[in-house]
Amino acid sequence: MKHTFTFMGTGAGCGVPAFFCDCPACEEARANPNARRGDCGVMVTGSTRTLIDTPPDIRSYFNREGVRYIDDLIFTHWHYDHVGGLGELEYMVQLLTKKALPTFASPYTLESIGREFEYMMYCLARCPIEPFEQFEIDDVRYTALPVTHAPGTYGYLIETDETRLFYASDTGKLPPETAERIRGVDILAMDATYWKENGYPQNHHSVQECIEEGLELDAGKIYLTHMCMHYSEPITLAQLEEYLEQYDGRVTPAADGLSFEI
Ligand SMILES: [Zn+2]
Ligand SMILES: [Zn+2]
Ligand SMILES: [Zn+2]
């Protein structure tokens, strides 16, 4: 069966444009909708829909993609830019699907979400996933791999019959065991928060570090995601695309709404 992988949002924290920012990247995004980025999340669609993370912009993503409901939910971690839209799903469960939504994440993340969204926990059927544990949804195998970020954060190795893809929206340099598990993936979609200077190397990658690590791991195709475009030093999408020409299409900035078959 064919599956589709969709970038719902591809920005870091405050999005592009950030409402409080007048840098060249934000001005570019105000003028050009293609350069706009909401907070990070992805969806895998086959005979069912699996959403990874519920960023604050999730309602507009669902409307943009024509998504009426999701069947399963996975979390990378518990930071606001990845969970802030969870409240939207209470209405979906109450008014449409009327059953608790299977929700996969680390025990730490589930506990954190349970505290923050206590009032709607009846909407979620929580499935704690241990590091390196595998689970299958709709003929897609997910492996939870620890990454270098906040406690309990995972990247997910996503495998279909056709494709091995590793998605890690938030991570510094990958832990060795995770790196070995994903060596040679067909597609790497990874944290590229900073341009040039990495202001938070224990939690994130720069564009340059993401590419370097992706090439070292022999990833077939590298999508840069969780891009801030204006931490450290601003860069416009036009400038970034020009910089990436040297990789002959092997490295591409992810974009909100971009999708491909896996
Ligand atoms: Zn800006
Ligand atoms: Zn985070
Ligand atoms: Zn994040």
Start-end of H helices in the chain: 24-31, 58-65, 80-83, 88-92, 107-116, 176-182, 207-216, 237-244
How does pLDDT run across 170-179, given as a tens digit for each residue? 999 999 999 9
Report angle CA 89, 260, 165 to the nearest 5 degrees.
85
Question: What residues have their beta carbon closer than 5 A to ion ligand 2?
Answer: 79, 170
The amino acid at 188: L
Which numbered ligand comes closest to the C-alpha of 36?
1
How does pLDDT run across 112-169, given as a tens digit for each residue? 999 999 999 999 999 999 999 999 999 999 999 999 999 999 999 999 999 999 999 9
Closest CA to 18 of 37, 34, 33, 41: 37
Structure-block tokens of residue 193: 């928060």
Q: Report phi then psi at 82, rounded to 5.
A: -115, -15
Kindly give the distance from the C-alpha atom of residue 187 to the centroid of ligand 2, in angstroms, as a whole number. 22
Q: Are 108 and 151 in contact (CB under 8 A)?
A: yes
Task: Give dist(CA 77, CA 110) in Å, integer.
Answer: 9
Which numbered ligand comes closest to the C-alpha of 193?
3
Confidence (pLDDT) at 10: 98
Task: Give dist(CA 37, CA 23) in Å, integer.
Answer: 15
At 1, the pLDDT band (50, 70, 90 cuts) reads confident
The amino acid at 49: R
Question: What residues have their beta carbon closer than 5 A to ion ligand 3?
Answer: 81, 170
Confidence (pLDDT) at 149: 98
Kindly give the distance from the C-alpha atom of residue 194 to the centroid of ligand 1, in angstroms, as a whole number. 12
Task: Give dist(CA 208, CA 195) in Å, integer.
Answer: 7
Q: List the 140-146 sheet strands across, edge first.
A: 134-137, 140-146, 154-159, 164-168, 187-191, 221-225, 251-253
The position carrying tokens 């934000």 is 26
Cα dihedral value 47, 49, 50, 54, nearest 10: 180
Q: Which domains does the chain have, with CATH numbers?
A: 4-254 (3.60.15.10)
The proportion of the chain whose per-residue pLDDT surpasses 90, expressed as a percent, equals 98
Task: Give dist(CA 80, CA 180) in Å, integer.
Answer: 29
pLDDT of 91 > 90? The answer is yes
How does pLDDT run across 18-61, given as a tens digit for each residue? 999 999 999 999 999 999 999 999 999 999 999 999 999 999 99
Which numbered ligand comes closest to the C-alpha of 81?
3
Task: Give dist(CA 228, CA 191) in Å, integer.
Answer: 10
Confidence (pLDDT) at 76: 98
Report angle CA 170, 172, 176 to the nearest 5 degrees.
115
Kindly give the distance from the C-alpha atom of residue 134 to the centroid of ligand 2, in angstroms, as a whole number. 22
